[in-house]
Amino acid sequence: MRILTIMGTPHKGNTRAITDLFLNEFKDKNNEFDEIILPNDFHEFCYGCANCILKGEKECPHFKSVNPVIEKIEKADLIIVATPVFVMSCSSGLKALLDHLAYMWLVHRPKESMFNKVGLIITSAGGSGVKDTVKLVKNNLFYWGIPTIYNYGVTTMKMGGNYIDYKNKDKIKRQIKDKANKIKKSLSNKKVGLKTRFFFRIFGMTQKNGWNKTDSDYWNNKGWLNGKKPY
């Protein structure tokens, strides 16, 4: 099994420490691990040109930089997206990456591999913003087509620290172990739920209208407009 961690910041604080606890639960000789640290491994901001959507992802000004990230995402079975809360949202590095992947949404050109993955969102905050950050990242993973998404967020009431100093650290460890066990079960029994199937069908109907030729050609070539499914 391949596990990819996308870290929204290189800062080694609460979010990094909690992520490492999760990764320890998956330590196994049969598992392969990879990591993307933002903005170190991808630092471009989206221009908003919409070339990726209207003309194809290779027309993105940053395609050569973002494509290696996409390739790692496609190869992974479990995708962990970890970001501390920055101003009630995810880190700027993570937001920049998500913006570049808009063309992969269900409404445009989802990748078939996404329907066979499990996602995990990890976030922490010194105050508020955990729920808003989880929602933003979860929406992206869902619209990529990932059918099963877990999340773990914690408010530490301490900025720039490490969960080790947090008074509820033992509780955190127990919660992480329990959630990791649930994720393992999902990885061994992957299912595409009704919500994903519903949105895939709705967006398929819009593709038949041919609003964006690049998208509709993609769906047609995949056979998705003729009843074939990616799951």
Cβ neighbour number for residue 141 with a 10 Å cutoff: 22
Please report the sign of the dihedral spanned by the C-alpha atoms of residue 86, residue 33, residue 182, residue 174: negative
- Report the side by side order of strands in the sheet with 118-125: 32-37, 2-7, 78-84, 118-125, 148-155
**How buried is residue 70: exposed, middle or buried, by Cβ count under 10 Å (0-12/13-18/19+)?**
middle
pLDDT lower than 50: segments of the chain = none
Contact (Cβ atoms closer than 8 angstroms) between residue 184 and residue 148: no
Contact (Cβ atoms closer than 8 angstroms) between residue 104 and residue 110: yes
Q: Which residues pair with 6 in a beta bridge?
A: 36, 81
* Cα 49 → chain centroid: 23
- In the prediction, which pLDDT does 169 show? 79
- In the prediction, which pLDDT does 29 show? 84
Listed in order, strand segments (DSSP E) in the chain are 2-7, 32-37, 78-84, 118-125, 148-155
Contact (Cβ atoms closer than 8 angstroms) between residue 105 and residue 212: no
Distance CA 219, CA 103 (A): 13
Question: What are the backbone angles phi and psi of residue 144, rounded to the nearest 5°?
Answer: -75, -25
Distance CA 181, CA 140 (A): 24
Residue 177's identity, in one-letter code, is K
Give 180's DSSP letter. H
- In the prediction, which pLDDT does 156 show? 77
Contact (Cβ atoms closer than 8 angstroms) between residue 34 and residue 76: yes
168-177: b (≥16 Cβ within 10 Å) or e: eeeebeeebe
pLDDT above 90: percentage of residues in the chain: 87
Contact (Cβ atoms closer than 8 angstroms) between residue 207 and residue 219: yes
Map tokens 């799951």 to a residue: 231
Q: What is the pLDDT of residues 34-76, one digit of tens each?
A: 999 999 999 999 999 999 999 999 999 999 999 999 999 999 9
185-201: b (≥16 Cβ within 10 Å) or e: ebbeeeebeeebeebbe
Domains of the chain are: 2-190 (3.40.50.360)
